[in-house]
Amino acid sequence: MLRFKARVARAKIEGEDTLLVKPQTFMNLSGQAVAPLARYYKVAPEDVIVVVDDADLPARCLRIRPNGGSGGHRGLQSIMDNMSNRGFPRLRVGIGRREKDKTLTRHVLSKFNADEYKAMQGVIDRAADAVMSILTSGINTAMNEFNGQVED
């Protein structure tokens, strides 16, 4: 459904209608996809879960928060600027920074090397489990279980 500048899938999770949304905008314009969808489907901000990569977190670290600032993340800032309320949960997935990458843009747009890719597969699985926990058990339970470094 590109009408909203996003790819959208519908699912039933624990009997609840759920939308999975992947913005098709530039990352720093994500709010142009997320906010109109939330308004159209009458989804309250606290029911929107945003998952972002975060170069300011160590690689393989997960951080769930019920709300807060953008921490300099332009995608989160765009969503905050476009939503009527900043109180949405977010899951940050740490990708760290490489010393050799001089710019943040170069780092986040580069591909993982073979070792990084293998390590991040487990992180992606754990992040998906964290989102399911938010949906089924609530944000506090998910924070207690998933915040921190993902082990091998």
Residue 104 has pLDDT above 70, yes or no: no
Q: Indicate the domain borders of the chain.
A: 2-149
Question: What is the tens place of the pLDDT at every residue in 25-71?
Answer: 998 999 999 999 999 999 999 999 999 999 888 888 999 999 999 88
Please give the model's pTM, rounded to 2 decimal places.
Answer: 0.88
User: Yes or no: is domain 2-149 CATH 3.40.50.1470?
Assistant: yes
Element (H, E) at 120: helix 114-137
